[in-house]
Each structure stands twice: as C-alpha cells, then as structure tokens.
Amino acid sequence: MAPDTKHLEVTLETQVESVNLAEEMCLRLAEAVGFGEDECYRIGMSVREGVINAFHYGNKEKPEKKIHLAVDLTPEKMVIHVADEGTGFKLSDVPDPLAEENLLSTSGRGIFLMRAFMDEFEVVPARTGGAEIVMSKRLPNLGSPQSNGSHGSAPHREA
C-alpha cells in the first residue's frame, strides 16, 4: 500500500443490518473527504448493493460467513472493496437487467447500479475464496471523469 493511502477495514456479519451499517460508514467517509450530496448518494448506494450482493448471493445469507469491507483513500480516489466467503462469480455470467426479457425480473440490478454509479468497477477472486468487488470514485477536488451513469436513458411514459 502506498504510504499516502489511508486504509480502513471492517468485518461484518452476514445479516441485513450490515447493509445499513456499511452504507452509513462509507457515507461518512465520503462526506469527510468532500464528496457532494449526489456523489455521496451514488457511493452509499454502491456500497449498499455490494454488501447486499455479498449477503445474499455470495454468503447465501449464512450467518457463519463474514462480509469483508475495506476502504482505501488514495490521493486520487476512494476505493471500496467488498469481499464475501462464497464461491465467486464471473461478471460475464450476470444477466443484463436492461435486456427486454429481464426487465420484469425481481432481482439482478445490483451489479448494474454499482457499475453505473462508480467510476471504476471490477470483480476479482477474493482471498477468502469468494468474490471481491472493487469499485472506486475519483476524489471531488480532482474533477470527475464523464459519468458512466447514463445507461439506458429510455423514454418514459409520463402522463
């Protein structure tokens, strides 16, 4: 780790309450480093979705498994890691929630939202054997690259 990187790491229980806890913790960090309201919302939502993914799909809601949340604050960006103790997954196996046949699916939008709301997003094998989501947001004082949150700007039916 670079000497000018600040690192925070917590181990969370596999329970619904961990989702709110992780979101709240990362929101406070994001506010502290100067992200504005909209970016804080996107970061908070992404952390929430990452932990929901670990809770539900990775750890299969098994209470004996843990969720590992880490945040690195570098001079350039906030990097968030969410690792589970499941069996891992490939991004290429995740169905596209914008495909016509998936629009009425009741699940499967978490990965899409994280990709839409963060500047960088990837899934790597975790040391725990499961999947590790790694996502980052460029710090606000450095300027923001063009948002990738404009997926699917479908026309809407508003009466």
Partner 1 sequence: MALHLTPRDSGAITVVDASGRITLGDGSAMLRKTIRQLVEEAHCKIVLNLADVDYIDSSGIGELVSAYTAVRSKGGELKLLHLTKKVHDLLQITKLFTVFEVFSDEASAVRSFK
Q: Which residues bind partner 1 (CB under 8 A)?
A: 16, 19, 41, 45, 48-49, 52, 97-98, 103-107, 109-110, 112-113, 116, 149-159
Residues sharing a CB contact under 8 Å with residue 13, sequence separation 6 or more, in sequence order: 63, 66, 67
Residue with Cβ nearer partner 1 (145 or 155): 155
Q: How far is the CB of 127 from partner 1 (least distance, A)?
A: 26
Q: For partner 1, which is the closer residue by CB, 73 or 80?
A: 80
Query: Looking at beta carbons only, is 57 or 73 nearer to partner 1?
Result: 57
Query: CB of residue 153 vs partner 1: minimum separation in angstroms?
Result: 6
How many Å apart are CA 136 and CA 77, to the nearest integer? 6
Q: Which is nearer to partner 1, 87 or 147 (CB)?
A: 147
User: What is the C-alpha separation between 118 and 106, in angstroms, rounded?
Assistant: 23
Which residues, 6 or more positions from 38, have their beta carbon under 8 angstroms from its beta carbon?
none
Segment (H or E) for 131 = strand 131-138
Residues 30 and 38 sit within 8 Å (Cβ to Cβ): no
Minimum distance of partner 1 from residue 63's CB (angstroms)? 15
From the CB of 22, what's the least distance to partner 1, in Å?
Answer: 12
